[in-house]
Amino acid sequence: MRTAPTILHLDMDAFYASAEQASKPSLRGKAVVVGGLGPRGVVATASYEARVFGVRSAMPMGQARRLAPNAAYLMPRFGLYRAVSEQVMGLLHALSPLVEPLSLDEAFVDLEAAGAAWDRDSALRVGERLRADIRAVTGLTGSVGLAASKMLAKIASEDAKPDGLVLIEPGTERALLGPMPVRTLPGVGPATGDHLRRAGITTVDELAEAGEDELVRLLGKAHGHGLYAMALALDDRPVNAEREAKSVSVEDTYDVDIHDRVRVAGEVRRLADRCVGRLRGAGFSGRTIVLKVRRYDFSTLTRSETLRGPTDDPEVVREAAARLLDSVDTTGGVRLLGVGVTGLADYTQEDLFAQAAGERAALVLEETPPEPVAVEAVPRERGWAAGHDVRHARFGHGWVQGSGLGRVTVRFETPQDTVAGRVRTFRTDDTELEPAEPLPLVLVSPEAEEAEEAGEEAEEAGEAAGAQGSSEPASFPKSRSGKGEGDGAATSRP
């Protein structure tokens, strides 16, 4: 364990929903729910205003609508979220070479690695300036936790939400963790939590008092040992900047069960192509093809096939997925399909394709099942998805509020507007209306870009001095807002 709180955990606040509010003036301060809008959709993120009504991530969208019927319900815009995430990760990489992203909106940073922080006060300064920079660059807020271990840093950032900073003083971890529920610890999900509760263990103190042998008896050797160490606040896991993807996959949930076997096969081919697109986009190939099928009765089947070597050939993945589908009975209907690739590598084994080429030659006379002609059941593929960007030849940039019965309603506003924009309704086939790319949440002036480039050069020149322990951290950017802290609270947990 470290003796200084130099591990930082950043978690953006209600990331998807906050990005939507920042880009849509009419939704600022209002309940916003982002996720799949079909009958089987689930909530990806809810704004804090929506959480007041009990809406939570992973909740069925139908339940969310009953709890908050007047909230704005939007389809995700992953292109925007990725762009903002890249800005945030850029700020983190300016702090340290050791950044471990956990998702688009969450990451660990080792502040000790490049001399960005070395004690309590320097760590607090870094955390405060990071929050201010995130707000200045993206217009959004993030919560920061600082501690001597990854586990405690993550607990601290959760305690800091929303828009705050919490530092846990080294040496106080046991006293802090003791009264917390066991679900606070990583790896304790609902099932493990219920199992421990039945054994009379509900807090971290009770977990530690039970002893390692009892936890091994209850949970097994690996889980018992690990959980006992965490209950004692022992966590030596390093920040791992080389965290690799283990798999690439795509899946779709259908509003209406698919019974037609030909359409199921067509969907599997389409998913295989999308999966390969993601695989190539990430610069990987894979050796094991996985098919996931959730049937009408909610039973989920997984089938896999391991090839002789890694591939990123779409035809090879399609054929493997088709073979796996042959082993699955879909007679009663299918509600979800997914195709994935695991066993990732950064190369392909070219001679693997000889077998696939021979198989394709044998099948050349076989008629390929046609693509399904029915309208896709997933709302995001229907043309005018709620929340997505559009541009009108006369009215400019806007976003879709809703569509149906041949009409689409658009609110015309941009992230830089200070008041809600006007609403107009058009025919869905209006030739002057077209999809558009998201606008940046914060406009950066040429002067600010030049200043940022100059700051990056200064950071590179000052890294050596910062690593030697100068009084002011040299490896993080100065706050673009000119302040040393954000609007939220900075708290030290004794």
* Three-state secondary structure call for residue 168: strand
- Sheet containing 389-392: which strands, arranged edge to edge? 422-427, 407-412, 396-404, 389-392, 433-435
| Selection from 178, 150, 167 nearest residue 240 by Cα | 150
CB 378 within 8 Å of CB 253: yes
CA 155 – CA 403 distance, rounded (Å): 42
CA–chain centroid gap for 338, Å, is 19
> Tokens 């006060």 sit at which residue?
121
DSSP state for residue 42 in the 8-state scheme: B
Residue 406's Cβ-side half-sphere holds a number of Cα atoms within 13 Å equal to 1
CA 344 – CA 359 distance, rounded (Å): 24
* Three-state secondary structure call for residue 150: helix
* Residue type present at position 213: D
End-to-end, the C-alpha distance of the chain in Å comes to 17
401 in the Ramachandran plot: left (φ > 0), alpha (ψ -120 to 50) or beta? Answer: alpha
DSSP state for residue 273 in the 8-state scheme: H
A 10 A CB-CB count for 151 gives 23
DSSP state for residue 381 in the 8-state scheme: G
* Three-state secondary structure call for residue 285: strand
| Selection from 399, 327, 426, 307 nearest residue 315 by Cα | 307
Per annotation, catalytic residue among 20, 49, 100, 106: 106
Q: At residue 138, what are phi and psi to the nearest 5 degrees?
A: -115, -15
* Catalytic annotation present for 106: yes
Q: What angle do CA 191, 197, 199 make, to 5 degrees?
A: 110
CB 463 within 8 Å of CB 474: yes
Cβ partners under 8 Å of residue 406, min gap 6: 427, 428, 429
Which positions are annotated as active-site residues?
106
